Amino acid sequence: MIAEIEALASAALSRIAAAANLDEMEAVRVEVLGRKGTLAEFGKLMGKLSASERVDAGKALNGAKTSLEAAFDIKKTAFESAALNERLQSEWLDLTIPPPGLTPGSLHPLTQIQNEIESLFFSMGFTILDGPEVETEFHNFDALNIPADHPARDMQDTFWLEGGHLLRTHTSPVQVRGMMRLGPPLRMIAPGRVFRNEEVDPSHEHTFYQLEGMMVDRDVSIANLLYFMKTLLSGIFKRDTTVRLRPGFFPFVEPGFELDIECMVCGGAGCPVCKQSGWVELLPCGLVHPNVLRAGGIDPAEFGGFAFGLGLTRLVMMRYLIDDIRWLQSGDLRFLKQF
Ligand code: DAH
């Protein structure tokens, strides 16, 4: 019987060694080591042996069991780690590969033009300021020399909020905040969103963008204003531009001007774009009114300044010949992808 057990064990060992996968090996284990397996059958026969034979056969049986179980465990571990390695190989991901088919976004044309103008003025020593979109009546109107009964308030249809607050109708209130915060001498620009209670059509929006500029110093003159405006325009249009000043009224400047540029389409000869005049209205500007300097805590006897209000939205429309202002805030990707 001992010989039979040893023969069975060595046959099973070589079958385990030859097994190609866990299933094959499991079949051998059930057949030999299982509760109804061959070794168990030998166990049942033990009762028929003499006491001394039983001791030896028992040892052989236990020895066979132990060595088979050990062989089985070792091979099982080997199979499992091979399976794990295979999975690690086949499921390996390179997380650094960029996903296919994604196109990078781009900056909104308004942001692009704003960035350009900011770096231009930054290089000339101007500070870039931000102001709140919800403003006080004081900053938006009173401090800009537009008292409550002034007809100029009617020029800007205002979204009124509670408690004397409003959505700012222009970026000019940032002039006041700039004067108060920084004091003279002062060079600042303030780009931002402004709001008017307007009927929306191809050339009117309730929300649009302006860029305010202000310089306060001793002996600031219209020559300074013109110099900075010409620098601004050649920066934007990438060429020398001819400009002219026409009188214009804004309560916060005196004198106030409308700055026109020579029409770039016809070079001043007259065409439909400039309505045959040869000139295109570009931005309002002027020398800061003494009342505004005073409201900003600056003594007009000592300091003077110029200010301008650039319509960023309008400028973008001119640059890219966009004929409907509503495109700019539409969020329409067909429009945005062109920039
Ligand atoms: N704040 C004015 C507006 O939105 C524009 C403006 C005019 C700004 C003249 C200025 C200026 O700084 O000097 O209608």
Average pLDDT of the chain is 91
Q: Which amino acid is at 62?
A: N
Which residue intervals of the chain are DSSP H helices? 2-18, 22-33, 38-45, 51-90, 109-123, 137-140, 173-182, 222-237, 290-295, 312-320, 333-336
Protein residue with its CA nearest to atom 5 in ligand 1: 309
172 lines ligand 1 (CB under 6 A): yes
- pLDDT score of 248: 96
Q: Is the CB of 141 under 6 A from ligand 1?
A: no
Distance (Å) from CA 172 to ligand 1 centroid: 6
- Pairwise CA distance, residues 220 & 23, whole Å: 93
What is the enclosing helix (H) or strand (E) of 261? strand 253-262
pLDDT score for 291: 98
Confidence of residue 49 (pLDDT cuts 50, 70, 90): confident
Q: Where are the domains of the chain?
A: 2-90, 109-336
CA distances from 275 to 202, 272, 278, 286 (A): 18, 5, 8, 25
Dihedral (CA of 141, 144, 148, 151) sign:
negative
Distance CA 221, CA 329 (A): 37
Strands 243-247 and 207-217: unpaired
Q: Quick one: average pLDDT of 199-223?
A: 94
According to DSSP, residue 269 is labeled S
Which residues have C-beta within 8 Å of that of residue 257, sequence separation ≥ 6? 245, 246, 247, 248, 284, 285, 286
* Residue ID of nearest Cα to ligand 1 atom 6: 309
Closest ligand 1 atom, residue 169 Cα: 4
Q: Is the CB of 170 under 6 A from ligand 1?
A: yes
Distance 48 CA to ligand 1 centre (A): 116
- Indicate if ligand 1 lies below 6 Å from the C-beta of 57: no
What pLDDT shows up at residue 46? 83
Binding site membership of 19 for ligand 1 (Cβ less than 6 Å)? no
**Ligand 1 site, residue 307, Cβ cutoff 6 A:** yes
Q: Which of 150, 156, 172, 222 best tests ligand 1's pocket when mutated (most atoms within 8 Å of CB)?
A: 172
pLDDT band at 222 (very low <50, low <70, confident <90, very high): very high
Instruction: Please identify, by atom number, the ligand 1 atom nearest to the C-alpha of residue 309.
Output: 8
What's the confidence (pLDDT) of residue 214?
Answer: 98
Nearest-CA residue for atom 3 of ligand 1: 170
Model confidence pTM above 0.85 = no
Is pLDDT above 90 for 187?
A: yes
Q: Could you tell me the pLDDT band of residue 283, with boundaries at 50, 70 and 90? A: very high
Domain 109-336, CATH homologous superfamily name and number: Bira Bifunctional Protein; Domain 2 (3.30.930.10)
Category of 16 on φ-ψ map: left (φ > 0), alpha (ψ -120 to 50) or beta: alpha
pLDDT at position 37, please?
86
Pocket lining: 131 vs ligand 1, CB cutoff 6 Å: no
Of residues 125 and 102, the one with the higher pLDDT is: 125
Cα dist from 304 to 65, 96, 115, 128, 300, whole Å: 105, 58, 28, 20, 6
Residue pair 268/262 in contact by the 8 Å Cβ criterion: yes
The per-residue pLDDT for range 117-170, each reduced to its tens digit, is 999 999 999 999 999 999 999 999 999 999 888 877 777 789 999 988 999 999
Exposed e or buried b per residue across 104-118, where buried means at least 16 C-beta atoms within 10 angstroms of its C-beta = eeeebbbeebbeebe
Binding site membership of 308 for ligand 1 (Cβ less than 6 Å): yes
